[in-house]
C-alpha cells in the first residue's frame, strides 16, 4: 500500500494509533488533519512527528475550503475519516457538536472527495473510508451478532450521528460512484485513549484510590478490540476492500462492564499493588476491587453489542491477534508508564467526572 493518505482525527485515540501503524507497515505518506479538540492531542503523535512521510495540519473537517485545498495539494490515494465526537455521555449533554462534526463534517469530506474523484485527478484506486461504530446497530438481546446487513437502530445522539454519516457515505457510492468503504468496529481499547472511556477511566481512578463508578448492575456487554488490531483491519480494508461494501471489525471478545473492571483490578494488583499505593493505603483500602461502586444507569444505555466479523476474515484474511488478557495488560502497563501524559490531557476542563446526566438529575 502506497500513495498519500489524508487521515482525519489523526491526533485522537484511534487515529493516532492508525497513523503510526500505517507508517510502520506501508509506504504511504500520512497527512494528518485534526481540529485538536479536548480528545485530540499532538503528544499522541510525538513519536512520528519527525518522520519525513508525516505531516500534521490543524483544521476542522467542516471547513470545506481547507479540505478541498488539502485534497488538491496532496492528491491522496485515500481519505480515512476517524474525525468524530465519540463519547456517548457527552452526546447526551451536548448533541449539537455531534451533529456538526459527525454529520456535517463527514458530508464536507464526501463532497470534497466527490469533486476530486469526478475531476479525474484521483488515482484509479482512490478510496474514501468512513470509520464507524457498532453502536449504529442498536442493542442486541442475549444472543445473535451484528452483521453488515443488520438494520441501523441508533439509540443515542452519538450513534444517531454516526448512522447518519454512514448513510451519507453509502449514498455517495450509490449516487455518485464515489469508491466508499465503511467499517463498523466494536469497542476499542489501548494506548492514548482519552480517560473519559471505561478502561482508562477505571485505571486512573483506581490509582487515585477513587470510587470506580459502574453503570447499573454492570451487566452491559461490549465486544472489545485492541486498537492496533482495529488499525490493521482498516489497512486491509483500504488495500483490498470492495467499494460500496461495509466491513465489521470485531474482537470476538464479549465482556460485561463488571468483568472489565474486575479484570483491570487484577492486572493493577499485579503491576502496582494496592498495598504499595499511598492513595489506597492512606484511605485504609487494601484492594482495588473494594473501590467498585454501582451508580444510576446511563439514559438509553444499550445492553449488548457483539460483532460478526466473518466477512472481513473470509474476504480479506483479517482477524485480531491480541487476546484480551494480553491487550489489557499492555494497556494498563502503558498508562502506568505514561501518567504524565494522563495528567497533561486531564489538566483542562475534564476532571474524570461523570457526564451524560443533563436532563436526568433526579
Q: Give the active site residues.
A: 134-135, 158
Polymer length of the chain: 362
DSSP bridge pairs for 187: 224
Is residue 203 within 8 Å of residue 264, measured between CB atoms? yes
Centre a 10 Å sphere on the Cβ of residue 248 and count the other Cβ atoms it contains: 26
Residue 102 DSSP one-character state: I
Of the candidates 79, 96, 95, the one whose C-alpha atom is nearest the C-alpha of residue 169 is 79
Residue 295 DSSP one-character state: E
> Do β-strands 246-249 and 187-189 pair in parallel, antiparallel, or remain unpaired?
unpaired
Q: Reduced to 3 states, what is the DSSP secondary structure of residue 320?
A: coil
Q: Reduced to 3 states, what is the DSSP secondary structure of residue 59?
A: coil
DSSP bridge pairs for 217: none
Distance CA 287, CA 265 (A): 8
Distance CA 290, CA 336 (A): 20
Amino acid at each position: 500500500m502506497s500513495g498519500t493518505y489524508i487521515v482525519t482525527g489523526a491526533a485522537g485515540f484511534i487515529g493516532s494509533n492508525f497513523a503510526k501503524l500505517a507508517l510502520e507497515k506501508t509506504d504511504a505518506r500520512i497527512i494528518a488533519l485534526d481540529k485538536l479538540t479536548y480528545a485530540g492531542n499532538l503528544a499522541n503523535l510525538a513519536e512520528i512527528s519527525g518522520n519525513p512521510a508525516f505531516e500534521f495540519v490543524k483544521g476542522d473537517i467542516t471547513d470545506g475550503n481547507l479540505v478541498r485545498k488539502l485534497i488538491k495539494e496532496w492528491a491522496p490515494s485515500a481519505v480515512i475519516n476517524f474525525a468524530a465526537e465519540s463519547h456517548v455521555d457527552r452526546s447526551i449533554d451536548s448533541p449539537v457538536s455531534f451533529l456538526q462534526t459527525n454529520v456535517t463534517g463527514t458530508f464536507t469530506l464526501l463532497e470534497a472527495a466527490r469533486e476530486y474523484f469526478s475531476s479525474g485527478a484521483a488515482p484509479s484506486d482512490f478510496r474514501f473510508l468512513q470509520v464507524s461504530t457498532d453502536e449504529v446497530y442498536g442493542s442486541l438481546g442475549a444472543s445473535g451478532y451484528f452483521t453488515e446487513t443488520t438494520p441501523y437502530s441508533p439509540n443515542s445522539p452519538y450513534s444517531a450521528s454516526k448512522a447518519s454519516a454512514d448513510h451519507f457515505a453509502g449514498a455517495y457510492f450509490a449516487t455518485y460512484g464515489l469508491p466508499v468503504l465503511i467499517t463498523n468496529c466494536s469497542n476499542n481499547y489501548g494506548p492514548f485513549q482519552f480517560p473519559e472511556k471505561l478502561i482508562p477511566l477505571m485505571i486512573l481512578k483506581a490509582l487515585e484510590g477513587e470510587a470506580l463508578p459502574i453503570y447499573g448492575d454492570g451487566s452491559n456487554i461490549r465486544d472489545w478490540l485492541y486498537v492496533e488490531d482495529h488499525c490493521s483491519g482498516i489497512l486491509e480494508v483500504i488495500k483490498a476492500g470492495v467499494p460500496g461494501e461495509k466491513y465489521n471489525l470485531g474482537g470476538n471478545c464479549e465482556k460485561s462492564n463488571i468483568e472489565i473492571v474486575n479484570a483491570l483490578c487484577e492486572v493493577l494488583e499485579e503491576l502496582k499493588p494496592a498495598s504499595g499505593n499511598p492513595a489506597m493505603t492512606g484511605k485504609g483500602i487494601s484492594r482495588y476491587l473494594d473501590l467498585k461502586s454501582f451508580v444510576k444507569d446511563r439514559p438509553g444505555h444499550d445492553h449488548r453489542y457483539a460483532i460478526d466479523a466473518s466477512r472481513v476474515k473470509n474476504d480479506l484474511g483479517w482477524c485480531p491477534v491480541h487476546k484480551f488478557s494480553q491487550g489489557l495488560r499492555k494497556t494498563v502497563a502503558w498508562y502506568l508508564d505514561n501518567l504524565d501524559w494522563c495528567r497533561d490531557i486531564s489538566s483542562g476542563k475534564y476532571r474524570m467526572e461523570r457526564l451524560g446526566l443533563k436532563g436526568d438529575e433526579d
